[in-house]
Amino acid sequence: MASDTGSSYTGACHPAADPDVAAAHIAAVRAFNRSYTRVVGALRHGVLGTDFSLTEARILFELATFGAAEVVDLRRVLDLDAGYLSRILTRFQAKDLIARKRSDVDARRQVVELTDTGRAVFTELDKRSQQDIGELLHPHSPAVRDRLVEAMAVIEAILDGENPGGTPPSGRADTVAAGSSTPGDRNAAPGAPVTARSGAPVTPSDAAATSGSPFATARPESAVTLRDPGPGDHGWVIQRNGAVYAREFGWSREYEALVARIVADFLNCHEPHRERAWIAEHRGAPVGAVYCMQESPDTARLRVLLVEPTARGLGIGSTLVNACIDFATAAGYRELALWTTNAQTAARRIYDRAGFHLVQEDPQFLFGHNLLGQRLCRPLTGPPASR
C-alpha cells in the first residue's frame, strides 16, 4: 500500500475523493498506511540501517532473485520512471553493484545484472530484513502470527487482485461466485483431498512471494485444497452464508436460519456413504464450502454452495460443484439436483457448464425479496462435468 503523509491540504491540484467511497473507509486506509509505514521503517532515510532507499533495495531484490534483467522490463515490473531508474542504476554501477551489457536479442536494449559485490550487499540486506521481521513477530504467539498473515492475505487479495469487482479475470478456467443453497426439505466414504489451481502461469513476480523476502510484493500461484469439515467449520459455514448474502443481496436473517437448519440436519442425520460436505482452503484459511445430501434414494442435492468474495477467480466454485458430482455418481445416485434463485447469476454459469438444466421456476417471496426460485437437475449417467 502506498505511503500516505496524512496531509489535510485539499488544494486544486488534489483530486476530490470518490463520492461512492465512504469517508470513514478512506480515513481508515490512510491511518493504516501511516501506521504500517512507520512499523516497517519505510519513512527512514535508509532501509534496514543502510544507505539504500526502499526502492533501491527492491531493485537489488529483483536482480538477486531473478538474475539479469532488461532495464525496460525492470522499469515495467517495478513501475518506475525511466529517468529515476537510470539514475539509481548509474549509482549502483559506480559502486560496482551492477554490470551493464547489450541484449543478445536486441542490441538496442540494455541488460543489468548484479556483480559479486552486489550479491554480497543484497545477502546482507536480506539477512537484516529477516532479523527485523523476526523481532517484530517475536512478542506475539503463533496463533496471533497466523491471524496476522491471514489478514495480510485478505488485504493483498482485495487490493492487488486482478478482479476487484468480483468478475473473474479473462483467461481463467472457472468463474466463481458465492453460490446457491437449497430451501426446502433436507435431504461414499470421504476420499483424498482435491487440489485446484487457477491455471495462470507462475511469473517471476509470483515466485518472489515465496522467497520469504519482505521486498517481494506479488502472490504465488493460487492453490486450493478441499477437505472434510473439522470442528467449528459448520458454524463458519452458517456465519459466512448469513454475512455474505446479507451484504451482497440484502437477504434477511431468514436465509441464515435456513442454512443453520440445513447444516443441523446434516450433522444430526447424515449417512456417511451417501452424504458429504467439503471445505475449500486457500493459504490455510477456509474460503468455500458445499454439501451433498440425499433427497431421495435416486437423487442427491447440492446445498449451501459458498465461495468467499476475496477468493473468487480461483476456480473454487467449479471445483466444489465437480466434487459433488463425482461423489454423488460414486454413491449410486442417478440425478443431482439443486435449488437456486435468479439472483445467483454467476453461480448459474457454473451450474450450466457442469451440465445442470432448469426443470422448474416459480416466483416466491424469500429472505425479504421477490425472487424466482429455480430447481436445476443433472443426470449422473450422462457425460462427465466440464472441467
> Count of CB atoms within 10 A of residue 55's CB?
14
Q: Among 343, 346, 342, which residue's Cα sits nearest to residue 374?
A: 342
Mind listing the pLDDT tens digit for each residue in 259-311? 999 999 999 988 889 999 999 998 888 999 999 999 999 999 999 999 998 88
Amino acid at 199: G
Q: Which CATH architecture fits 194-379?
A: 3-Layer(aba) Sandwich (3.40)
3-state SS class at 187: coil
- Alpha-carbon dihedral of residues 326, 327, 328, 331, nearest 10 degrees? 120
pLDDT of residue 178: 33
The DSSP secondary-structure symbol of 52 reads: -
pLDDT of residue 304: 93
pLDDT of residue 202: 29
Q: Distance (Å, rounded) from C-alpha 280 to C-alpha 243?
A: 18
Percent of the chain surpassing pLDDT 90: 35
Contact 350, 306 (CB under 8 A): no
pLDDT of residue 357: 93
Mind listing the pLDDT tens digit for each residue in 185-211? 333 334 444 444 333 322 333 333 333
Fold that domain 23-160 belongs to in CATH: Arc Repressor Mutant, subunit A (1.10.10)
> Count of CB atoms within 10 A of residue 245's CB?
22
Q: Distance (Å, rounded) from C-alpha 193 to C-alpha 172?
A: 22
pLDDT of residue 168: 36
Q: Among 124, 143, 145, 125, which residue's Cα sits nearest to residue 134?
A: 145
Pairing mode of beta strands 69-70, 98-102? unpaired
pLDDT of residue 76: 86
Looking at the DSSP bridge assignments, the partners of residue 358 are 376
Say which residues have a Cβ less than 8 Å from residue 234's Cβ, sequence separation at least 6. Answer: 263, 266, 267, 277
Does this model's pTM top 0.75? My answer is no
Query: What ranges do the domains of the chain cover?
Result: 23-160, 194-379
Q: Distance (Å, rounded) from C-alpha 279 to C-alpha 237?
A: 9
In our burial notation (b when 16+ CB lie closer than 10 A, e otherwise), range 60-88 reads: bbbbbbbeebebbebbebbebeeeebeeb
For the chain, the helix, strand and coil percentages under 3-state DSSP, each to the nearest 5 = 40, 20, 40
